Structure 1
Amino acid sequence: MAGVLAAACLAGCAGKPVVRASAPAAVQADLVLHNALPAAIRESGVLQIATDASYAPASSFAADGHTIVGFEPDLGTALGEVLGVRVRFVNHAFSSLSAMVADGKTDLVMSAMTDTVQREEKVDFVDYFTAGSSIVVQRGNPTGLSDLASLCGHVVALEAGTVQVDLVQRVLKNCPPDKPITVHLFKTNTDTLVQLRTGRADAVLNDYPPAAALVTDARTGAFYQLASTAQYEPGPYGIAASKSQPQLRDAVAQALRTLVADGRYAQILAKWGVGAGAVKYVSLNGGAAS
């Protein structure tokens, strides 16, 4: 069964990163927070945030194929306004993001990344959202999947490096020996959905907000539906920062608290229809509590 789970197909996401740069700050910045930023960010005036732009409505490409849009880019832009810097979102494979921020190759990561105890060993998190996992199937649910246990004996496509990979590994341990889950891993969520749409996979596991958006969007709803309304193992999304940059982490946390307090945070989530995932309090490294 371990051999079956290890089967991987890493495709896509090649070429130069695609950048989303925010407009100049539209509101007065908090000078104290601006001065608390690392010198390199203050001097450049740019805060670089890495994301995997294949996960609408969190972060995805607009119709032009270049601009990154979603509640994360909007929230990042608002954080930049508070901090007095421009924000640049850059697209990268999800599986590379933790290492990028830990190694200083990007300032932050904001990519529907669940804050977990394991990830906290490498990076720090500012938690900004909450979501669980959902099972996405073909419209009509031809294989009759209904819950995690029903995945036994089926092919599941997953994005590499996500919490859904660990979730399916735990489910696999309880499958009958003659009905293992066959897992194929891909670089982007878009790649997994192609597998499902073309019948090469029976299910894809996504966080609930992207899954709900997928099955209700007029462009994709004809192809996909949820196996059930269940959300499995809900946890916090975290903005990842290097453990060597506590001043950046703390400045971002305080800027997010400002957005929560003045209502801009709620407005951004409401715009994208994800207000149910709002956090009441901005915490650091909350994975242990989830």
Structure 2
Amino acid sequence: MVRIKTQQAVGTALAISSLLALAACSDPGATAATAPSSASAATAGGKTFNLTPEQNRVKVTVDAAAAALVPEAIKADGKLTVVATGGTAPLSLFATDNKTLIGSEVDIAYAVGETLGLEVEVLPVAWADWPLGVESGKYEAVLSNVTVTEARKEKFDFASYRNDLLGFYAKTDSSIGEIKEAKDVAGKRIIVGSGTNQEAILVRWDEENKAKGLAPVEFQYYDDDSASTLALQSGRADLTFGPNAGAAYKAAKDGKTKEVGTLNGGWPLTAEIAFTTQKGNGLAVAAQAALNTIIGDGSYAEILDRWGLSSEAIQKSELNPPGLPKK
């Protein structure tokens, strides 16, 4: 079902409590399309995704200098236990056996652990369960689209590995040009998630446009992804605006949409996704070193390209980078 917000109602959306707080990533499974579990691979637009348990992951080599930074408590059993939430293609999802976790976050976890000379175990957890699990030391890290925030930095350490992006997507044959700033969305019919950071950004852009006499945005809201897809493909909507990772995967998988612009998820600030560890135990330092090793040798780029996420690559991992501010 579609709900089209009137111009007056859009104005009330300015009461959304905090643009930056909303950017601080909740469960990614709530907003991104999931991959089919009934096929071993999905192909379209020249892109093939291996969805089987046999992943043939990108090979990495041990970096002795980075491995030397691993805390003794983790070296003791030689294992790095990482958690991910699953259910969000291409970040982390279940393979065709419905039990093996795969995806870009899983590949990064293996690449970091193996670069550090550790055995890697990736476990599925509910989004609500990872903070206590990592803080208590039950799990050594979480890779599940976790955005760095100043509030989270009080309890966790971070090594960044991906830009947090939102994406504008149109039909493949759309004549819409690049979306970079407020004026580019004037008069467009845009599908967006209610109560999300992307809606708050779009509301601000729309108010800016209306103040300049430009045509308002028509906000469209759908209850499920299939209805949203049908609206875009049938021409009832011009654009979708939401988390880039899931949209990029979908575009590569079915070839029916194209990216026409990206925006940092923390706009107007910068938000980064990071390898998240217990505060002060030293693992984030080792993870940062490992991430910079795989960035330098090209294996990081291979992993992101494998899952259609090259646009979200970073040039260098940062330890505890500036996070989105507290409310």
Give the TM bin, normalised by the shorter chain: 0.5 to 0.7
Distance 1:37 1:28 in 2: 16
Query: Equivalent residue for 2:63?
Result: 30
How far apart are the structure 1 equivalents of 2:57 and 2:192?
46
Residues 156-201 of structure 1, C-alpha deviations (whole Å, 9 max, x = no match)? 467xxxxxx455467779999xxxx9999xxxxxx964786799xx
* Residue 90 (structure 1) aligned with residue 123 (structure 2): yes
Q: Kindly name which structure, 1 or 2, has the bigger radius of gyration based on alpha carbons.
A: 2
Secondary structure in 2 matching 1:64: coil
Q: Deviation string for 1:179-229 (max 9, x for gaps)?
A: xx9999xxxxxx964786799xx99864212212124423xx77xx68964
Counterpart CA distance in 2 for 1:268 and 1:98 is 26
**Structure 1 155/39 Cα, relative in aligned 2: closer, same or farther at 3 Å?**
same
Paired residue for 1:231? 263
TM-score of the two chains, using structure 2 as the length reference: 0.59
Contact 2:84/2:106 (<8 A) preserved: no
CA contact (8 A) 2:304 2:313 kept: yes
Query: 5+ unaligned residues in a row in structure 1: which ranges?
Result: 14-19, 140-145, 159-164, 185-190
Q: Is the 8 A contact 2:70 2:283 kept in 1?
A: yes
CA contact (8 A) 2:55 2:102 kept: no
Distance 1:149 1:121 in 2: 42
C-alpha RMSD of matched pairs (Å) = 4.5
Equivalent pair of 1:120/1:285 in contact (CA under 8 Å):
yes
One-letter amino acid of the counterpart of residue 93, structure 2: S
Q: CA deviation at 1:254?
A: 0.7
- Matched residue count: 252
Distance change in 2, residues 1:100/1:269 (3 Å): same
Partner of 2:276: 240
Contact 1:112 1:238 in 2 (8 A): yes
Q: Deviations over 1:234-287 (max 9, x none)?
A: 631111111131x21111111111112222212222222322221112112223
Partners of 2:248 and 2:57 in 1: CA distance: 32
Letter aligned with residue 289 of structure 2 = Q
Instruction: Tell me the distance in 2 between the aligned counterparts of 1:216 and 1:255.
Output: 29
How many Å separate the matches in 1 of 2:293 and 2:144? 21
Which residue does the alignment assign to 2:98? 65
Q: Does 1:281 align with 2:313?
A: no
Residue aligning to 1:266: 301
- State the identity as a percent: 24
Deviation at 1:230, TM superposition (A): 4.4
| Structure-2 change in CA distance of 1:100 and 1:147 (3 Å) | farther
1:41 aligns with 2:41: no
Return the offset for 1:48: 1.0
Identify which of 113, 137, 141 aligns with 1:104.
Answer: 137
- State the AA in 1 paired with 2:246: P
The DSSP-based 3-state class of the residue aligned with 1:117 is: coil
Give distance in 1, aligned partners of 2:199 and 2:244: 16
Give the unaligned 5+ runs of structure 2: 1-11, 18-26, 31-52, 173-183, 208-218, 232-236
1:162 is matched with none
Q: State the TM-score, normalizing by the size of structure 1.
A: 0.65
2:156 to 92, 107, 123: 123
